[in-house]
Structure 1
Amino acid sequence: MIDLRLLRDNPDLVRTSQLARGAQPALVDELQDLDVTRRAAIVAADAKRAEQKAFGRTIGKASKEERPGLLEQGKALAAQVDELEAAEKAAEAALVAAHKAIPNVIADAPPGGEDDFVVLREVGRPTTFDFPVRDHAEIGELLGAIDTVRGAKVSGARFYFLRGVGAQLQLAMLNLAISRALANGFTPMIPPVLVKPETMDGTGYLGEHSSEVYHLPADDLYLVGTSEVPIAAYHSQEIIDLAAGPVRYAGWSSCFRREAGSYGKDTKGIIRVHQFDKVEMFVFCKPEDAAAEHERLVAFEEEMLGLMEIPYRVIDVAAGDLGVSAARKFDSEAWVPSQQAYRELTSTSNCTTFQARRLNIRYRDEDGKPQTAATLNGTLATTRWIVAILENHQQADGSVRIPAALQPFMGGLTELTPV
């Protein structure tokens, strides 16, 4: 949630953010009104409780003759307190609902929608070939690495098997990601992938993204679409120690997404699927350190993409394409030769204090006072990378050259050959 003090001090900033996102600025006015109503309800309830407490002392000092009448007055006063407390609770509930409806305030993100991103840099030239280009699905079939036919037979559309060198390639990539994370001060984690509603809601995934989430009603648990969710909640309701600098985790997990609304998009291969594996970086830091930490996460992602030896570009995602929690997001997109286009491989978001405020994650400032922490997340490797690796390193005979950085994790193999 956004900081209500920001809303009170600078409502126009929040309205401007809403407009840049293509969201409703009227929600800001509604939240302002409810904030005033809630504060008035608190004052009224507090005043009546104080009156009730003082009146209780009067009863204690009253004579036997006065007591019955005073007790009747006390009952009436208690009823008024109950009524005002109910109004206070209703005002609080309405405020929370309106508060959650406002996404994070953007931080320098370009305005506009999905197509209004800004290209920050391009690294490497798009790969070209002197033979007919195969897409990753065809290459994966030649290598015996990807089996979408049996994936669909067993589980339905957008499921697949990685087998043989396909499974090896994913494990190699994710193990390399963990090794790089360790080298850069991250603590590796394997988190649970089923979480409680308050965890999913706390990270901002039960609002406009709820249609993307798998829910298990019998247990009231949610399958996560990213390990960002359980790791964000790892320190919920805690005061964490940031005196020595940011706390950094790297979570390896399977991830699950319903891909609602993507009917007909990327139906071939493993670009858009319901289940995949990912190593996700997650950071808790002081708010003033968040922007610099965001740049560090992008640098870590670019280091990994460089090790994959694939051309890519980094874009500044437009406000209307940001998730609810993100104030700013950078995507790294790899060149996919069969599509003659760049496709997203990594994404890193600065969520400022938005998630931590929902999850009540704080740290102590220099004066020892609790303050809300900032959170950031970023992809270090995921299943989709196999698409870019296979297509950019394909050879005329159907074999695929393995990037040098992955070879030690592939038992020394230097290329994958058709079966």
Structure 2
Amino acid sequence: MIDLRALREDPGALRDSQRARGEDDGVVDRLLDLDERRRSALSSFERMRSEQKSFGKSVSKAQGEERQALLVRAKELAQQVKEAEAEADRLGAELDELLRGVPNLIEDGAPPGGEQDFVVLDTVGEPPAFDFEPKDHLELGEGLGAIDMERGAKVSGARFYYLTGVGARLQHALLNLAMEQAIEAGFVPMYPPVLVKPESMEGTGFLGAHAAEVYQLRQEDLYLVGTSEVPLAAYHMDEILDELPRRYVAWSSCFRREAGSYGKDTRGIIRVHQFDKVEMFSYCDPADAHAEHLRLLEWEREMLAKVELPYRVIDVAAGDLGASAARKYDCEAWVPTQNTYREVTSTSNCTEFQARRLAVRHRDANGKNQPVATLNGTLATTRWIVAILENHQRADGSVHVPEALRKFIGLDVLEPVKR
């Protein structure tokens, strides 16, 4: 949720942000109008309530007919106070509802535009040059006995799968490596709940434009998380933190309906309904948020180097940020059979947006309670298997195991299974 005080002081910043996102900048005037009317209604209510208290003292001192007349007026005044309070509450609720639909202000420097308007910041490593026709990750995975889409569909439906044999071992190795790196960097490890209450999901900004992608269990009024960012952001909901930064890393299963992606990436495990992910999450002083964001990006790049993948870093355009993010950097790994880069990590600086909604605060240098900044970043996920298999494949269908993964998987090479 954006800061109303900052909006009053500089409404142009939100107008510019809305335009960069491709959103309606007219919402600024609606917010300012509602805010002014709400504050005016609150002022009227406070004035009437003060008058009511003073009038009550006069009634207590009056006698006879004068007292009866004053009692009639006191009753009228009480009704007016009640109506004034109701009007202030109504305008407050209307303002709050409008505020919750407004995305975060983008950070200075974030590129404007939509999904294709990203800016490439860096390209690392050379795509492999094969002297044979490379197989895609599904053909490789089936040959290795690592991926079973057919039985996944039989048991659960489209976009579900089994990771089997070395596929399961590869995922465990990858996520263990990510957890190890994060713990060594000082993150507190967690296994969070993957079912959360509506206030947790809404507080992190996932029930707005992305609501169609979220699985809901209506009978229990719970949601399955699409990322452990949600339970990690809500972990300190309604709390005041004495020490910052606080960094957590979570290993969890994630669930996405993939609504609106019909026909996209239906082959293999690029776009699926269930996957595992290791997610970094940071609570920090808002003044340190930009620097913390760059730290998260460096930790992601460190992981990509360990699994020996060529990749690029992009500065995501404003219209593709999502409601909560003020700035987002993606790392995209090279996928040989698609002849393109595909997202494997994402790190977002959500500034104070989520913390305001979730009431997560810290004590500043003056002892005042202020919202913290929240940031998140992917450290590894099931989708990485796509890039690892394709980039490290050999002509015979075997796959080279990056050295950093070998101690976890116990293999130097993944060999095709005999059928």
Give the TM-score, by structure 2 length. 0.98
1:25 aligns with 2:25: yes
Separation (CA, whole Å) in 2 of partners of 1:408 and 1:370 = 46
How far did 1:67 drift?
Answer: 2.6
* Counterpart position of 2:249: 250
* Counterpart position of 1:389: 388
Separation (CA, whole Å) in 2 of partners of 1:345 and 1:253 = 16
* Counterpart position of 1:98: 98
Alignment of 1:266-415 (within 5 A): 266-410=265-409, 412-415=410-413
Point out where structure 2 has 5 or more consecutive residues left out of the alignment: none
How far did 1:169 drift?
Answer: 0.6
* AA partner of residue 254 (structure 1): S
How far did 1:69 drift?
Answer: 2.2
How far did 1:64 drift?
Answer: 4.1
Structure 1 vs Structure 2: percent identity of aligned residues? 65
Separation (CA, whole Å) in 2 of partners of 1:117 and 1:132 = 31
* Counterpart position of 2:211: 210
* Counterpart position of 2:188: 187
Q: Residues 180-230 of structure 1: CA distance to partner in whole angstroms, max 9, x if unpaired?
A: 000101001111111111111100011111111111111111111000001
Contact persistence 1:128–1:337 (CA under 8 A)? no
Q: Secondary structure at the match of 1:219?
A: coil
How far did 1:68 drift?
Answer: 2.4
Separation (CA, whole Å) in 2 of partners of 1:80 and 1:373 = 40
Separation (CA, whole Å) in 2 of partners of 1:38 and 1:383 = 48
Separation (CA, whole Å) in 1 of partners of 2:58 and 2:148 = 81
How far did 1:13 drift?
Answer: 1.0
Q: How many residues align?
A: 416
How far did 1:55 drift?
Answer: 1.3
* AA partner of residue 386 (structure 1): I
* AA partner of residue 417 (structure 1): E
* Counterpart position of 1:418: 416
Alignment of 1:71-90 (within 5 A): 71-90=71-90
* Segments of 4+ moved more than 3 angstroms: none
Point out where structure 1 has 5 or more consecutive residues left out of the alignment: none
Q: Residues 212-262 of structure 1: CA distance to partner in whole angstroms, max 9, x if unpaired?
A: 1111111111111000001101111111123xx411000111101110000
Q: Secondary structure at the match of 1:406?
A: helix
* AA partner of residue 300 (structure 2): E
Separation (CA, whole Å) in 1 of partners of 2:16 and 2:261 = 30
* Counterpart position of 1:159: 160
* Counterpart position of 1:63: 63
Contact persistence 1:247–1:284 (CA under 8 A)? yes
Contact persistence 1:27–1:101 (CA under 8 A)? no
Separation (CA, whole Å) in 2 of partners of 1:60 and 1:407 = 86
Give the TM-score, by structure 1 length. 0.98
Q: Secondary structure at the match of 2:189?
A: strand
Separation (CA, whole Å) in 1 of partners of 2:413 and 2:71 = 89
Higher mean alpha-carbon deviation, 293-302 vs 44-53, is at 44-53
* Counterpart position of 1:261: 260
Separation (CA, whole Å) in 2 of partners of 1:194 and 1:289 = 31
